[in-house]
Structure 1
């Protein structure tokens, strides 16, 4: 294990890896697999986009009436996995989830393209859709409704923050003798532990 994986702040290490991935990944270096659990205890995973991170955690935005939104509201724990094939690196995160503030959600919502803001109104995410034409009609209806001026953020559209209890950094090495370093939250700081590959 190289000492460059042992740092005081795992967010700084994550940020440097994300910056490197942004230069080498062909698409969406901020893509992450998000794992949740439904009411029956069945795991569910999908890819979402990281929109912010700091010492409070990792943030993405969604419709709270979607499958993932309802699962996180009902069982506020999640796991994330970032995989950067071009760098042969992976970061896994386990933690507790909470909603971002209304101010944070408003700020991010209004930074999105106007079409994406309309889409947040038009899409009844995760619910059955009888045809593409129905979705397109809903988009047209909301486009007409919000033809000029600021589009308000729907109440059901907001962000979730995953506050890590544990973060694992994985780096590919020759002969599958990979580097693995785990950061575990302890009081006001972090403990570190090396793992066998």
Structure 2
């Protein structure tokens, strides 16, 4: 159950991600739990979609005015959790979330369908709306405003990159009931220290 990537957690992530995507294509492999510390002092988790990952970190996109956006602005320490039940694998990532450069957010925004672009303009998640009619009226407004035009990215919408300092890979062997946990922690020189431990499920 050990792994061949002694000092490279991103390569380890890439290997698992594509393996799971291949064997469990019916589920969203890129769905992850994003946990933040809320402004009220309580941790909160929600599912977001991983859109890209690089050697630097893991990227997702959101409304900056949302509850999670405000939480990140207040405390950018976050966790990501991939829970791939069918393959008995789990990846926990601890890191700091930073806004992506505007040009990267704009590049991704341009690739989105028109309906998704309009939704980004319609939705201001910092306010409570008591009627769906309000949203429908806003949608009509922006449909007219951007008719036959390129829809620009609104300022309140964009991407984040989570730069990890700890990644933990967990895999259970169904035959033996033994779970292998591989943890990587970043060192001062930006290399990774690897720890492996095993536990027996009761």
Fold in common (TM above 0.5): yes
**Matched residue, 2:6:** 7
User: Normalization by structure 1: what TM-score?
Assistant: 0.94
Distance 1:42 1:80 in 2: 17
Aligned CA-pair RMSD: 1.4
Determine which of 167, 181, 193 is the counterpart of 2:195. Answer: 193
**Matched residue, 1:59:** 59
Distance 1:58 1:33 in 2: 13
Distance 1:114 1:37 in 2: 33
Question: Which has the higher mean CA deviation after the structures are superposed, 180-189 or 122-131?
Answer: 122-131
Distance 1:97 1:107 in 2: 19
Distance 1:136 1:79 in 2: 34
SS in 2 for 1:178: strand
Q: Which runs of 4+ in 1 moved over 4 A?
A: none
**Matched residue, 1:180:** 181
User: Normalization by structure 2: what TM-score?
Assistant: 0.92
Shift of 1:21: 2.0
Question: Which has the higher mean CA deviation after the structures are superposed, 4-13 or 107-116?
Answer: 4-13
Shift of 1:9: 1.4
SS in 1 for 2:87: coil
Distance 2:164 2:121 in 1: 31
| 1:29-54 CA distance string (max 9 Å, x none) | 10000000022321010000001111
Distance 2:136 2:20 in 1: 35
Instruction: Give unmatched runs, 5+ long, in structure 2.
Output: none
The total of aligned residue pairs comes to: 196
Shift of 1:18: 1.1
Instruction: Give unmatched runs, 5+ long, in structure 1.
Output: none
